[in-house]
Amino acid sequence: MELSAFFQAHDRVAVAFSSGVDSTYLLYSAINSGAKVKAYYVKSAFQPQFELNDAKKTATELNADMSVIEADVLLLPEIAANPSDRCYYCKRLIFSTIAKYALADGYTTLIDGTNASDSEDDRPGMRALRELSVLSPLRECGLTKSDIRRLSKDAELSTWNKPAYSCLATSIPTGDAITQEKLEKIEHAEDHLMALGFSDFRIRMLGSSAKIQLPSGQFDKLPENRAAIIKELKKHFNDVLLDRKVRA
């Protein structure tokens, strides 16, 4: 199936929007198809401020109608306790929240940016999408991540080469309780590294330590920034570690 055919069959849709590569291309395609579409961005403790800023900027670039709604993810013990299936409960909360607002706005079809490269084995939240009848047009149409980046570049979307980003909660080891304080420490560390020009990295929280994982192409930036990184991150962590295993 082509995306154009999908939007002919579903011409009034709500898009779960994160401003990442996939959801941006999905929103762009829905708008270009002539479908009636509205984007919904969910702000929670797991999303850093820069993601919301990006979502507003991208929605403006696409001239898209977007609502920002909030979800208190830490209110649910099944999420805050950080079990191995945390993502299932989080996805269910987020998408059911979007569905509620979308229905109030007259949208009964909710779609998301899951693509054909996303393995169900790697995405515990897939079960929540199925249970809530969320459609994934990119996946249905067989579009992989590389396809979407290529098509986004052709469409001159600013997100075509945007690095993938996992939520703040993924920086906390499974089984360690998630708190607002921990999330704020991780966000502060990420903001500092981004301000120094690093990208596509991860901060892993190990007890009271922060472990930095970098792509191979950014190791050469470390020497000149090492002192600044340690000084800033040690405001919130007892130790700052570098994972010598290159981030894929």
What domains are defined for the chain?
3-154 (3.40.50.620), 179-242 (3.30.70)
Q: Between the CA of residue 122 and those of 20, 85, 93, 221, what are the distances in Å?
A: 18, 11, 19, 31
Question: Dihedral of CA 97/100/102/107: which sign?
Answer: positive
Residues 49-54, mean pLDDT to the nearest whole number: 95
Residues 56-65, mean pLDDT to the nearest whole number: 97
Residue 248, pLDDT score: 46
Distance, in Å, from the CA atom of 110 to the CA atom of 113, rounded to the nearest integer, reads: 11
Give me 84's structure tokens: 């191995």
Confidence check: pLDDT of 12 > 80: yes
Any idea what the Cα angle at residue 194 is, between residues 29 and 90, rounded to 5°? 55
Residues 207-234, mean pLDDT to the nearest whole number: 91
- Name the nearest CA neighbour of 14 among 113, 87, 115, 98: 98
Q: Between the CA of residue 139 and those of 42, 122, 133, 177, 193, what are the distances in Å?
A: 22, 15, 14, 33, 33
Residues 216-227, mean pLDDT to the nearest whole number: 88
Half-sphere exposure of 167 (CA within 13 A, CB side): 16
Distance, in Å, from the CA atom of 241 to the CA atom of 49, rounded to the nearest integer, reads: 25
Mean pLDDT of the chain: 93
pLDDT in tens, 27-37: 999 999 999 99
In sequence order, the 6+-apart residues with CB closer than 8 A to the CB of 162 are 20, 21
Which comes out higher in pLDDT, residue 163 or 47?
A: 47
Q: How confident is the model at residue 189 (pLDDT cuts 50, 70, 90)?
A: very high
Say what the alpha-carbon torsion angle 28, 31, 34, 35 is, to the nearest 10 degrees: 110
Residue 219, pLDDT score: 86
pLDDT in tens, 65-123: 999 999 999 999 999 999 999 999 999 999 999 999 999 999 999 999 999 888 765 56
CA 21 to chain centre: 10
pLDDT in tens, 126-143: 888 999 999 999 999 999
| Cβ-contact 23, 152 below 8 angstroms | no
Tell me which of 9-13, 116-120, 151-155 is least confident: 116-120
| Cβ-contact 67, 119 below 8 angstroms | no
Residue 243, pLDDT score: 82
pTM given for the model: 0.91
Q: Sheet with 66-70: list strands edge to edge.
A: 66-70, 36-43, 12-16, 110-111
Other C-beta atoms closer than 10 Å to the C-beta of 156 total 8
| Cβ-contact 22, 51 below 8 angstroms | no
* The residue to which tokens 């996939």 are assigned: 22
CA 58 to chain centre: 14
